[in-house]
Amino acid sequence: MTLPKRTQVAIIGAGPAGLLLGQLLHKAGIDAVILELRSADYVLGRIRAGVIETGTVGLLEEVGCAARLRREGLVHEGVEISFGGARHRINFHQLVGRSVVVYGQTEITRDLMEARAACGAPTLYEAEDVILHDVTTARPYVTFKKDGAVQRLDCDFIAGCDGSHGVSRRSIPTDVQQVFERAYPFGWLGILVDKPPVSEELIYANHERGFALCSMRSHTRSRLYIQCDLDDKVENWSDARFYDELAKRLDATAVARLEQGASIEKSIAPLRSFVAEPMRYGQLFLAGDAAHIVPPTGAKGLNLAASDVFYLSRALMEFYIEKSRAGIDAYSATALARVWKAVRFSWWMTSMLHRFPNSSGFEQRIQHTELDYLITSEHALRAMAENYAGLPY
Ligand code: FAD
Ligand code: DHB
* pLDDT for 1 beyond 80: no
Task: Please tell me whether the peptide bond between 296 and the residue prior to it is cis, using omega within 30 degrees of 0.
Answer: no
* pLDDT for 4 beyond 90: yes
Each residue of 19-68: pLDDT tens digit? 999 999 999 999 999 999 999 999 999 888 899 999 999 999 999 999 99
Give the closest residue (by CA) to ligand 2 atom 11: 50
Round to whole Å and give the CA distance between 28 and 8. 12
Query: Quick one: DSSP state of residue 30?
Result: -
> Where do runs of H (alpha helix) occur along 190-325?
239-249, 252-257, 301-321
Choose the residue to mutate in 105, 201, 213 for probing ligand 2, maximizing ligand atoms within 8 Å of C-beta.
213
Helix (H) / strand (E) element for 99: namely none
Choose the residue to mutate in 215, 227, 345 for probing ligand 2, maximizing ligand atoms within 8 Å of C-beta.
215
Name which of 22, 98, 118, 106 is nearest 72 in CA terms: 106
The pLDDT assigned to 2 comes to 79
Catalytic residue among 76, 207, 292, 354: 76
Each residue of 169-199: pLDDT tens digit? 999 999 999 999 999 999 999 999 999 999 9
Residue 155: partners with Cβ closer than 8 Å, 6 or more residues away:
6, 7, 8, 9, 10, 33, 140, 141, 142
Catalytic residue among 125, 141, 207, 300: 300
Choose the residue to mutate in 289, 311, 345 for probing ligand 1, maximizing ligand atoms within 8 Å of C-beta.
289
Round to whole Å and give the CA distance between 207 and 340. 28
Bridge partners, residue 75, by sequence? 101
Interval between CA 363 and ligand 1 midpoint (Å):
33
Name which of 320, 235, 306, 293 is nearest 31 in CA terms: 320
Name which of 352, 303, 17 is nearest 164 in CA terms: 17
Ligand 1 within 6 A of 215 CB?
no
* pLDDT for 217 beyond 80: yes
Each residue of 145-177: pLDDT tens digit? 999 999 999 999 999 999 999 999 999 999 999
The answer to whether 61 and 349 have CB atoms below 8 angstroms apart is no
Indicate which atom in ligand 2 lies nearest the CA of residue 215: 11
The answer to whether 203 and 247 have CB atoms below 8 angstroms apart is no
Classified as helix, coil or strand, 31 is: coil
Bridge partners, residue 227, by sequence? 188
Q: Is 76 a catalytic residue?
A: yes
Please give the distance of CA 28 from its chain centroid, rounded to a whole number. Answer: 25
Indicate which atom in ligand 1 lies nearest the CA of residue 13: 7
* pLDDT for 207 beyond 90: yes
Band the pLDDT of 291: cuts 50, 70, 90: very high
pTM of the model: 0.97
Band the pLDDT of 135: cuts 50, 70, 90: very high
β-strands 292-293, 222-228 pairing: unpaired
Band the pLDDT of 278: cuts 50, 70, 90: very high
Round to whole Å and give the CA distance between 342 and 72. 27
Give the closest residue (by CA) to ligand 2 atom 7: 299
Ligand 1 within 6 A of 101 CB?
no
Interval between CA 13 and ligand 1 midpoint (Å):
9
Round to whole Å and give the CA distance between 233 and 273. 22
Beta strands in the chain (DSSP E): 9-12, 32-35, 51-52, 74-76, 78-83, 86-91, 100-102, 123-124, 128-133, 141-146, 149-154, 157-160, 178-193, 203-205, 212-216, 222-228, 263-277, 280-281, 284-286, 292-293
Indicate which atom in ligand 1 lies nearest the CA of residue 167: 18
Other Cβ atoms less than 10 A from the Cβ of 310: the count is 23
The answer to whether 81 and 88 have CB atoms below 8 angstroms apart is yes
